[in-house]
Structure 1
Amino acid sequence: MDLGLKGLKAILVGANGGIGRVVAHVLAAEGCDVAICGRSQGKVDNVLAEIAGSGVKSYGEALDVTQVDAVPAFVDKAAETLGGCDIFISFTSTNLGEDTDAAWEAVIQADILPMRRGIAAARPHLGKSDNAAIVCLSSTGAVEEFMGVQPYNALKAAVMNYSSALSQTLAAEGIRVNCFTPGPVMTEDGPWPKIKEAAPDFYNATLANMPSGRFTTGEELAKAIAFVVSPSCKAMTGANIVVDNGYTKRTQF
């Protein structure tokens, strides 16, 4: 199935590793021009080298997403370099795993505000596209109890609400907005390989809650995202898509 992504322009914030890196690979393989950023120039360069074989245009830079002007400046530069923006996704995230002022502030600064600032900066560019799509990333920690009281879960619930409201506001501009709510996702450079080594009991307990007996892979999630942002899924906006291999037990509606 041709998703119609060839020639489209994707700007991905925080995609020098983990899920973002896999999404960059999948979109590039579909012929999408890709811009990425991350904290490490070495990691950014590594991803750019990895997708170079796809023959697409690419751009990348290292930046600190907690700086107020950093993400908007990157979005504008990326759109200029690629020749526009059809897809915007922010992957930046942090989780201190505690209910403290510092933890709330950390998630807001490293996760929520970079997403909001990036969307605001991308909006004028997306408005010029015939296939404009935004993806906001939440977490199954927002819909079921996970690791106790912590701001990460609460603020990821806020992302769902924000995404839904955006979808209504931006629909008139031809911009689709959907939210993805992943469960635990295994990528080679993501958190779960480290958790498996450092906290095997927690890792095994999480795995035991997977009815399939395995984690979602980064590529599985990335392919779902690629379909939703593609012109093949043009009627979907305002949705919350749970991709969790059955990890959450609620009825999904």
Structure 2
Amino acid sequence: MDLGLKGSKVLITGGTKGIGRAIAETFAAEGADVGICARNAAEVADTVEALKARGVAAYGEAVDVADGAALKAWVGRMADRLGGIDVVVANVSALAIGADEESWRKEFETDMMGTVRLVDAAMPYLEKSPAGAIVTISSVSGREIDFAAGPYGTFKAAIIHYTQGLAYQLAAKGIRANTVSPGNTYFDGGVWNSIKDGNPALYAEALALNPTGRMGTPQEMANAAVFLASRAASFITGTNLVVDGALTRGVQF
């Protein structure tokens, strides 16, 4: 299937590792030009070079999405370099699961406001795009009570609500908004890699909950995100696509 993404201008936050990196690489493989950010400048530079090697334009900067002014400025610079914005993917998470106030603050500023500010900054460009699309990355923790209940799960649920509101509000402008909710996703250097090494009992418990007997891969999550952003999904908006290998038991209506 031709996803119709060749020449599209795409921004991805948290684009150097795991799901974000896979999303950036998949867009590039489809012929889209890509702008990324992450906090580590060296990792951004390495990722940009890898994306350019796929024959597309790619740019990146070190940005903390919790810094609203820096995020807005980055969006503007990327739009100038790319020649516009067709797609934004809000991918960054603070991964804060503590019950303390600082964890709540980090989740709000990074996950929630990092998403809202990205969309707000990109909106003038999305409104000019012939195929504007917003994809937010939530989590199965946003729809089930699990070990990440608290700030992480709360704001992941809020992101789904926010995105579905955007879909309704922006439909008349031709801008689509959808969410991907990944299940447990394993990759080297990721959170489940750390849990496997540091808390093997929790890792084994999480693995046993999935009837597939494994965790997902970043590529499997990226496939969903890129499809939802593409013209192949032109009549899909307001959807929360759960990609979890039947981990969650709740029925979506």
**TM-score where L is the length of structure 2:** 0.97
Q: Give the equivalent residue in structure 2 for 1:84.
A: 84
**Equivalent residue for 1:64?**
64
In the alignment, structure 1 segments of 5+ residues that lack a partner are: none
CA RMSD of aligned residues (A): 1.1
- Which residue of the partner structure matches residue 165 of structure 2? 165
Once the two structures are superposed, what CA deviation does each residue of 1:46-84 show, in whole Å capped at 9, x if it has no partner?
111221221000110002222220111111111110111
Match of 2:117 in 1: 117
1:188 Cα deviation from its structure 2 partner: 2.6
Kept in 2: contact 1:99–1:149 (CA 8 A): no
| Residue-by-residue CA offset, 1:12-37 (whole Å, 9 max, x unaligned) | 11212121011001110110100000
How far apart, CA to CA, are the structure 1 residues paired with 2:107 and 2:96? Answer: 8
Q: Is the 8 A contact 1:87 1:229 kept in 2?
A: yes
Q: Is the 8 A contact 1:19 1:190 kept in 2?
A: no
Partner residue of 1:193? 193
Q: In the TM superposition, what whole-angstrom CA distance separates every residue of 1:137-188 from its partner, at most 9, and x where no partner exists? A: 2111111111164111111111111011111111111110001111111223
Structure 2 residue aligned with 1:36:
36
Mean CA deviation greater in 228-237 or 146-155: 146-155
Q: Report if the CA contact (8 A) 1:138-1:179 is conserved.
A: yes
Structure 2, unmatched stretches of 5+, are none
Distance in 1 (CA, whole Å) between partners of 2:96 and 2:139 is 15
In the alignment, structure 1 residue 95 sits paired with structure 2 residue 95: yes
Report the CA distance between 1:90 and its aligned residue. 1.4
What letter corresponds to residue 115 of structure 1 in structure 2? Answer: T
Q: Report the 3-state secondary structure (helix = DSSP H, G, I; strand = E; otherwise coil) of the residue aligned with 2:68.
A: coil
Q: Distance between the aligned counterparts of 1:91 and 1:149, measured in 2?
A: 19
CA contact (8 A) 2:111 2:155 kept: no
Alignment of 1:1-253 (within 5 A): 1-147=1-147, 149-253=149-253
Instruction: Give the aligned residue type for 1:205.
Output: E
Opposite residue 2 of structure 1, the aligned amino acid is: D
Instruction: Indicate the SS of the match to 2:250.
Output: coil
Under a length normalisation based on structure 1, what TM-score does the superposition of the two structures give?
Answer: 0.97
Counterpart Cα distance in 2 of 1:109 and 1:12: 17
Aligned length: 253
CA distance in 1 between counterparts of 2:130 and 2:190 reads: 33
Paired with 2:73 and 2:213, the residues of 1 have a C-alpha distance of: 43
Identity %: 39
Further displaced range: 186-195 or 36-45? 186-195
Please give the per-residue CA displacement for 1:103-128, whole angstroms capped at 9, x wherever unaligned.
11110112111111010011110111
- Give the Cα separation in 2 of the matches to 1:181 and 1:172: 25
On the 8 A contact 2:141/2:149 being kept in 1, the answer is no
SS of the residue corresponding to residue 181 of structure 1 reads strand
Q: Once the 2 structures are TM-superposed, how far is the Cα of residue 135 of structure 1 from its aligned partner?
A: 0.7
